[in-house]
Amino acid sequence: MGGIERSEERDRAVEAALPHVPLDGWTRKALRAGLADAGFDPADLPLLFPGGPVEAIEVWCDLADRRMAEAVGGLDLAAMRVRDRVAAAIRIRLEQNAGAREAAARATALLALPHNAPAAARITARTVDAIWRAIGDRSADFSWYTKRASLAAIYGATMLYWLRDDSEGAEETLRFLDRRIEALMLIPKAQRRLGEIAARLPDPFGLLARLRRA
C-alpha cells in the first residue's frame, strides 16, 4: 500500500492548517497559513509537503490512524468480540476527528476527483490496515485481504454517513455502523448454512451418472 514519510514537523504543520481548511479548503493557502501558525516558514511548504494538499491529507489521515491505534491499545480487547473491536476502533476514529468534520468533508471531496483516486485508495488501505492491526489481527493468509476489503467498504460507507449526520454524538452514524457490521457477520453464517444444505442434497454428477447407466 506504500509507506508514508512521518515527522513531527509534518504532523504539527498539518494540524495547524486544519482551522484554515473550512474557509480555504485543502489548498496551498491553507497549508501556508498552518505553517506560519506552527512557527515554520511558509516558504517551506514544498519541502514538507512536496505533493501539495493531497499529500497533506495523507499525512493528516496517517496521524489520525496512529492516534486511533494508540487509543484502541487502551481497551480490554481480550474481553471483546471481533465485531465489537472493529466498531470501537471506528467509533474512536470518528470521535477523535469530530472537531474537524468540515476538514474531513473537504478532504473527501478533493480525494473524490479522478486524478486523486490513487491517494484515496492508499489512505483507505492504510486506515483499514491500522484498524485490523490495532485490534490484534495477525492473519497472514488470504483472509488478510478479504478482511481489509470488507472493512474498507464498511468504513467508507460509515464515513460518508458521518459527514452528513447531525444527530447528537453522531448516534445515527454509530447505529448505521452497527447495522453494516451485523450484515457483514451474517455472510459467513449464510455461507455455512448453504454448505450444510448442499451437503444434504444429492450429488448432481453422481445422479447423472446413475441415470446414464439406467
* Confidence label for 199 from pLDDT (cuts 50, 70 and 90): low
Mean pLDDT on 186-209: 48
Count of positions (residues) in the chain: 214
pLDDT at residue 80 in the model: 96
**pLDDT given for residue 188 in this prediction:** 54
Residue type, 112: A
Stated pTM of the model: 0.85
Note whether residue 45 is domain-resident: yes
Q: What is the pLDDT of residue 140?
A: 80
- Do the domain assignments include residue 134? yes
CATH of the domain at 40: 1.10.357.10
Q: Is the pLDDT of residue 39 over 90?
A: yes
Q: Which domain holds residue 48?
A: 8-213
The answer as to whether 2 is a domain residue is no
Q: Examine the pLDDT at 152 and tell me if it is beyond 80.
A: yes
Is 153 a member of any domain?
yes
Residue 1 lies in a domain: no
Given a cut of 60, is residue 214 above it in pLDDT?
no
pLDDT for residue 45 is more than 90: yes
Q: Is residue 39 part of a domain?
A: yes
| Cell representation of residue 170 | 453522531
Q: For residue 189, give the C-alpha cell.
A: 453464517
Cα atoms in the Cβ-side hemisphere of radius 13 Å centred on 65 = 22
> Distance (Å, rounded) from C-alpha 186 to C-alpha 146?
15
Coil vs helix vs strand at 41:
coil
**Number of domains comprising the chain:** 1
pLDDT at 191 over 50: no
Q: In this structure, is residue 25 part of a structural domain?
A: yes
Q: What is the pLDDT of residues 67-114, one digit of tens each?
A: 999 999 999 999 999 999 999 999 999 999 999 999 999 999 999 999
Per residue in 156-187, pLDDT (tens digit) is 999 999 999 999 999 999 999 999 998 877 65
